[in-house]
Amino acid sequence: PPLPPGAVHLPGWLPLERQRELVAACRAWAVGPVPIRHTRLPNGGVMSVRTVCVGWHWQPYRYTRTADDVNGRRVAEFPDWLVALGRRALLDAYGDEAAASAYAPDAALVNHYDGQARMGMHQDKDERSSAPVVSLSIGDTCVFRVGNTRPYTDVELASGDLFVFGGPSRFIYHGVPKVLEGTGDPATGLASGRLNITLRVTGLGD
């Protein structure tokens, strides 16, 4: 099946030099006030991806300023350059200048996948906003799965790919069933695995 309305995939959107900068920023966040870690779920499970948050801390299933489930510290500030990146992403995905200028992401989730990591099918519904989610992938290619019902649509996400989920796609089910280990280019600065950065509007204000 085709991608649902509001879901836009722009392969190779982020130039290699920008990928390198983003990898460097993610590396710094990973060892920042709240270190990257495997998120523990209330049901006792542990996610196979490692996640570090920026702006707001996601703990299943809410956003907080402090990482009460890790070390209690306040997460890193959401930088202005990341807002600007999100606006350019929205503009290129939808071509709507007014919507792009008004986009004000305030949280980023940085996920790192090793070759065995997966993300099960889920909806992102902890945000109190229906503003689009911007997703950037770096490193190993993965299989990204999207759709509320079978048959799902599988798309390969490679390094530099942009995906935007807005409108009717904002609350769609999605997951990552497979990472294609060793497919990434070390020139990104990422030695192994896959990075995914999602920008969100929490709707929680200041």
Binding site for Fe ion (CB under 5 A): 124
User: Is 112 marked as a binding-site residue?
Assistant: no
Q: Is 109 in the site for ligand MD3 (CB under 6 A)?
A: yes
Q: Which of 177, 198, 175, 191 is nearest to 140 (CA)?
A: 191
Q: Is 50 in the site for ligand MD3 (CB under 6 A)?
A: no
Q: Is 136 in the site for ligand MD3 (CB under 6 A)?
A: no
The tokens of 106 are what?
């305030």
Q: Is 124 in the site for ligand MD3 (CB under 6 A)?
A: yes
Q: Which of 58, 49, 59, 47 is nearest to 106 (CA)?
A: 58
User: Is 154 marked as a binding-site residue?
Assistant: no
Binding residue (CB under 6 A) for ligand MD3 from 19, 39, 59, 111: 111
Nearer to ligand MD3, 151 or 206 (CB): 151
The tokens of 130 are what?
């229906």
Q: Minimal CB distance to Fe ion: which residue?
A: 124
Mention every residue, 6+ apart, whose C-beta is less than 8 A from residue 198. Answer: 108, 109, 111, 124, 133, 134, 135, 136
Q: Where are the alpha helices (DSSP H) in 3-146?
A: 16-30, 80-94, 97-102
Q: Is 202 in the site for ligand MD3 (CB under 6 A)?
A: no
Could you tell me the end-to-end alpha-carbon distance of the chain, in angstroms, rounded to an integer?
A: 40
User: Is 122 marked as a binding-site residue?
Assistant: yes
Nearer to ligand MD3, 133 or 206 (CB): 133
Dihedral-angle region of residue 30 (phi above 0 means left; psi in -120 to 50 means alpha; beta otherwise):
alpha
CB of 95 to ligand MD3, least distance (A): 20
Nearer to ligand MD3, 79 or 168 (CB): 168
Which residues are 64's β-sheet partners? 57
The tokens of 141 are what?
């290619």
Q: Is 176 in the site for ligand MD3 (CB under 6 A)?
A: yes
Binding residue (CB under 6 A) for ligand MD3 from 53, 107, 119, 131: 119
Alpha-carbon radius of gyration of the chain: 16
Query: Rule CB under 6 A: which residues touch ligand MD3?
Result: 109, 111, 119, 124, 133, 135, 163, 165, 169-170, 172, 174, 176, 196, 198
Which residues are annotated as part of the binding site for Fe cation? 122, 124, 174
